[in-house]
Structure 1
Amino acid sequence: MERLEKKMLDLEKANKALKESEQKYRELVDNANCAVIVIEPTGYLSFVNPKFCEMMGYTMKEVKKLHLSKLVHPEELAMVTENFKKKLSGQQTPKSYKVRALTKRGDAIYVDYDSAVIKRKGRIVGIQAVISDITERKKAEEAVRESEEKYRMLFENANDVILYVNKYGKIIDINKRVEDIFGYKRDEVVGKNFVKLGVLRPKNIPRIVKLFRNSIEGKEIISILELEVKNKNGKMLPIEASTRVIKRNGKIVGTMNILRDISARKKAEEEIKAKSQFLESLIEQSPLPTFVIDSAGIVVMVNKAFLKAYNVPKKEMVLGKNALTEPANVRQGVVKYIKEALSGKIVEAPEIEFISPYENKKTVTKSRLFPIFDTANTLTNVVVMHEDITERKRTEDQIKASLKEKEVLLREIHHRVKNNLQIIHSLLNLQSQYIKDKQILHVFKESQNRIKSMALIHEKLYQSKDLARIDFVEYVRSLVADLFRSYETDSALITLKTNIDDVFLGIDTAIPCGLIINELVSNSLKYAFPEGGQGEIHINLHPEKEGKFTLVVSDNGVSFPKNLDFRNTESLGLQLACTLVDQLQGTIGLDRTGGAKFTIAFTEPKYKQEG
């Protein structure tokens, strides 16, 4: 009996301990940070903890009808189903694996699936799984992978050689650019000590080793260094090396080194240097006073001609000065031209009276300013060249004064010729008062008109700005007006119509041309309109191509006699007109329809046109 009571007591203690254990396990599962589920052999879930509901978005009530297939991404379902079946049949499967799960909303999340079979009396009755959400970790891993891929792509496709060296000088990694620049394959370089690779000049090795050790020890880091190295073929190459230390957990473990081939840059620098030396030589040998400023306006060069022209004892008195603030430049208005040149323009400054600050000497100077650009099209300097034109200016002034004197003299000559012709005109007029014969009187009047036409040419010339050429429009109007007065023509009955372009003729063309118009208009006034007759006289003058002109003098009066040859007539006026046309090497024609229309074509010689 006592033994039975003891067994009952032990059984009661065991049941109590079991309940306490189950309670603790339940609390542990309910409060776990990962999802815990139990899956029946049918694939349906028989138990889940609160974390599962939180992770997957289901309620406890919804879980009762939830099948495993609803929780797995379609692309992962076949693999999960196969492992589930193997697990139930007791076959060996991975204890845990990573898989994409689907939440209630259909979102895919990455989970770590760790499962174990549940046995009762030696028989598998289900599977218990622990599920951890590793989405954020997966994203972080993916970001790291993408970053590594991008870095690797940049590393491999860089234009420069990039190599990693550990703290012992051993090359850990190098990009493929090493083959293009140095001629080495990657596997010929990786794993070797950079000193023993054979690319450094022996005399440079101690210095490079010291700099490397200082970098590793954190003492000194040379960010950029230029040196010559030898490629696989033995050719020396100029390179630019930059170094950065690599740290892990705050400790320096090696260096990252970038080697850039600067052969092209060095070549360009040499070309620029040669051009600069050539330019300096040209400037120095130039006979024109010249100085050079930099982009800030500071004088950086001055030639011997400048020192001599302005009596500067030493070039140091000019070098380093700011051309934009130099008092002499400011005072004489030179600064604005310097600023214009500094903006990139070629400037030709006007004549300036320049007073040297080094001697009280006034000169007339003309300056040219040329900007200079580097290969990047950036303005680096401005060359300022002075030309002393004092003597030339003095000579020009003398020539201008002489020309002015000649112009006054020529005007006086034209004026006196006009006066002399006017005196002859007046004498003929006085003489005609004693002539009773009408025919002789008529001859005197025509001679007066011819003299008047020539006098008018000289009058217009001395009144004109151009002493070599005459404004023919104005001349014709004055000439015909005088003829109308001479023949006492009633302008109400006979009118003048002119159509003359802006024509300027030299004196050797204007005089015969004026006489021709004088004779033809006089002929119209005398014969075309009988006493009291009405009509029009037309004068047209137009320039044609290549210095040719067409002059037309016509009237609509009595028709010119058909049987009269105007080239062979006793009329002195028509004879004179034909002779003057020949003098102009021109042609003359007559249209007798509806009056008389004379057409004269002539060419003014080029030497006459040009004066």
Structure 2
Amino acid sequence: MGSKRISHKIDESLERRIHWWQILALAILVCGILITVLSVYQQDSSFREDLLIKTSIVKASISTNDISTLIDYKEDVTHGHEELVSVLQEIQNINDEIRFVYILDMRKDDSIFFMADGEPPESPDHAYPGQIYHDAPDTARLAFETGMMLVDGPYTDSWGTWITGYAPIIDPATGQAVAVIGMDVDASNYYSMLMKGSIPIFGASIFLSVLIFFLGSTQERILRKKLFLEASEKKFHDVFEANPTSMVISSIEDGSILEVNTSYLRTLKYSREEVIGKNVADLEIYSSPEIRVELTKKLKNKEQIQSEEVTLKCKDGTILYGLLSATIIDVEDTPCILTMIIDITEKKVAENAKSLNYKRIHALLQLGQMTTATLQEMTDYALEKAIEITQSKTGYLAFVNEDENVLIMYSWSRSAMDQCNIVEKPTEYPLESTGLWGEAVRQQRPIIINNYYSANPLKKGLPEGHVKLFRHMNAPIFSGDQIVMLAGVGNKDEEYNKTDVQHLELLMQGLWSLIERKQTNEALKQSEGRFKTLVGNIPGAIFRCKMDRDWTMLFVSDKMKDISGYDPSELINSNKRTYNSLIHKDDQEMVYREVLKNIHNKESYQLKYRLIRKDGNSRWIHENASGVFDQNDNLLYIDGVIVDVTEQKQAELELMESEKMLNNFFSQSLIGFFFMMLDEPIEWNDSVDKEKVLDYAIHNQRITKANQAMLDQYRATEDEFIGRTLYNLFKNDLESCRNICRQLFDNGHWYTKTSECRMDDTIMCVEGDYICLYDDEGKILGYFGVQQDITEKKQLEEINKNQLIVSEIHHRVKNNLQVIISLLNMQARLFKNQDSIKNAFIDSQNRIRSMSLAHEKLYSTNNVASIEISDYVSSLVNHISQIYYSYDKSIKINLDLDNVYLGMDATIPLGLIINEIVTNSYKHAFVNRAEGHISISFKELDDFYELIVEDNGTGIPENFDYDQSKSLGFKIINLLVEQLHANINIDTSKKGTRYNIKFTSLN
């Protein structure tokens, strides 16, 4: 029992001791937390103070006069605004921490707006001049009111979450803030950043708390055996391993490494096997072996080592900067050194970059002030600064020609000139002849050579006497896509890196911008001179005015004096003599109303009104102007031209009279006039799909104006006709429509004859002459046409054409019949001694002759459909008389013929009948007689025609049977009478023979 009580007391004492150790550990942890909070507060204050310093530097680089000029609009502010924006952009570019730099101004209504922004105009985050800053924090307004430099944030606006430094620009005359410079730092991860900076302290406090707890636990471990000891060791190892701070435990005697955590290995890029058991000095982790010796000495002397800055070297040779804290701990009763390292490389690099950025900005500011310096002075200065910023020993600068194939050396550093022993230094180097230093131009990128002695196939050797190089870096400088300069530096003690490239490029890019600006300013001066000359030669006065009742002039050219008699100085910003007071009183209200309407609609306008000159005379004025708006559609001012058009006004009156006459001619003309316009202008060239364009034109080209003659052609009213498309007019022949449009668009005008569809869907033939109408860009707007209905003319031409064809046919038939007659005549000659056969050939010739004569009459006249019978019969009988003419007989012919037209169907049979009867009379009626008489009569009676042929010859015997006659002549007559559907009567009761034939019209 006694031993149990003692054990229990020991346990109670042990518990009390453990509780005290725990309380102590907790107290240290709480202190660590408080120190961490204090550190966060100090970092926040330091950050804000640093931001104020940066903002004040920016403020110092901004001219109050430039700001006042922008506010007062005392002169052309474009150049001044561009200068401010350029400065802001450069400041924004040199420091990656700064996201936005801008200048704010405050209106009378206390609204804050952007005066200038360092963000490029093409950026979606760009704020244009005059844009209202709706999310402006109250601190910005407070900066205007108090004139104090302030820091605000983190706060959130439409651009993001920021901490912003505000620096008011004070007007020395009034002591008031005329503008405020704002500098935004991204604060989206601000608190994480602050905590990151306090992690070493917090980690150390955790470590000490754990260490104390571990020491307390050690007491319990000693008393509670090895198992508890192992558990405590594991807990320590877990905390040690998980700590984000790089930690290493090494022997205080020989420096061998006993333990490291993962953060240490990751930071220095070693594996555990490569460091455990190795000596710190052998690994060459510290930049100097003496650092380890000095640390050990301090610890042995019980000196505190807290956040000392050291330089470390990683396994791959990379240099790191760290804050080192160290203390002596016992590990298994052996004193060891616990070293904790916080990586501050990024911060150190940022500080160096900040210093270099400041130097570069200072150099650019100095360059910007070298307004009277020569180009050589500017390039020499920039080169020396580039050497200083990159910590180099030598350098050069060359310009590149437009073809990028020749380098023109322009500047050498002073040190290079001192060391160079080349007697004749060339200034131009063909790119193809250059070695390594030309690769930056060939590859269009920066080139770094940190070991110039190493073998390289691109090397071509240095000239004798050239500066010796062991390191070299150069970079091409661009203007757009064109390389314009090549800047190079060399012989830096340390290796060149991307930061050096960045500083060299930014400085030289800034130099080129200044060179371009210098060239631009010189060109601007020349341009301003040309502008003044141009404005002086314009026939009118150029003006810029406010949108107020007085039309307050902000600018007006010298031509105003010629127009109004007033000098421009009498009108610009004048309350005594306003432009509105020059406008005729009867026109003032009209002018204001029309301008207000067009400005409201954001449209340009043209006005004509009367202006009273200084000498009291009235002149007619033509004003062409438009409003100028900002990106918020706020009207800034009105720009325009005023021209004296008094003489033109008289010409307009005459033109109106002329137009009236033209309109009368248009409307009263008997020929159709019309305009056909496209819904939208079209392009017609080889770059467009012409078939698609034609489709569009056919369906979207409409009648917009037409005279009465045009309406009559289409049998339409004006309401029906206006708006009709080519498709409506050519729906019966769209292919013809496409061809006409193609010819018209190809040639610009076209004359054609075509068929179109009237409103009643009947087809008409039109003859038209058309000409394209174009806009200023050469696009086709539509066309103007003159056309007439030639349907009747076309029909008449078709009839004439058919008549010509038929006439030609008759002519050919007649010729063919003549050939047959000739053949029969030749055959008849073969039978000279056989009269019956010869006479048969002659009779056949006469019959064919009668038909040939009919065809001859048809083709020799204009009427190819019918023959005038009296002429035909006269010619036929005359021909028969000539054939049977005899000197010993006198046969008289009497003709009584009506002027009657018969078709070929009646004329040919009728002619053959007359031929047979008259021939028969000549051959048989007057045998053994010296004279005779033949009468022929043809009459058109009420509903029939009557042919009577009679002679006073011997006559036909009374017993002659006409119907049963075997005579060829009578057979032919019978056949022809049947063909005519005629009635024939042969009368031989009197002396001679009388034939009476009656028939109706075959038509």
TM-score by length of 1: 0.38
Q: Which has the higher contact order (CA 8 A, sep 6+)?
A: 1
TM-score by length of 2: 0.24
